[in-house]
Amino acid sequence: MSQSDAVSGEKSPRTGPVTFTKQSIAELRKVVWPTQEQLVTYFIVVMVFVVILMSFVALLDLGFGKLVFQIFGKAGVE
């Protein structure tokens, strides 16, 4: 739907299920699928990034946890 259609309030005709399926298959044929080598490379890059981010968040959690226990942990102990 173009912007002018949205502004004027005109609706485009509905697409039937068969036409929708044919158009979806036609669009999927246009997709450039990655090779197995590219897929493995992308997988490794994503996993390394996730591990690095997970380590960073874990260190922040550990640091803030120790800080909170330093501040509030010994308040009730006499």
Model confidence pLDDT, tens digit, residues 19-64: 999 999 999 999 999 999 999 999 999 999 999 999 999 999 999 9
Cα separation, 30 vs 61, in Å, equals 45
HSE toward the beta carbon, residue 77, CA cutoff 13 A: 6
2-11, 14-23, 32-41: the lowest-pLDDT one: 2-11
Which amino acid is present at 40? V
Predicted pLDDT of residue 73: 81
Predicted pLDDT of residue 14: 85
Predicted pLDDT of residue 12: 74
Predicted pLDDT of residue 15: 84
Q: Are 42 and 34 in contact (CB under 8 A)?
A: yes
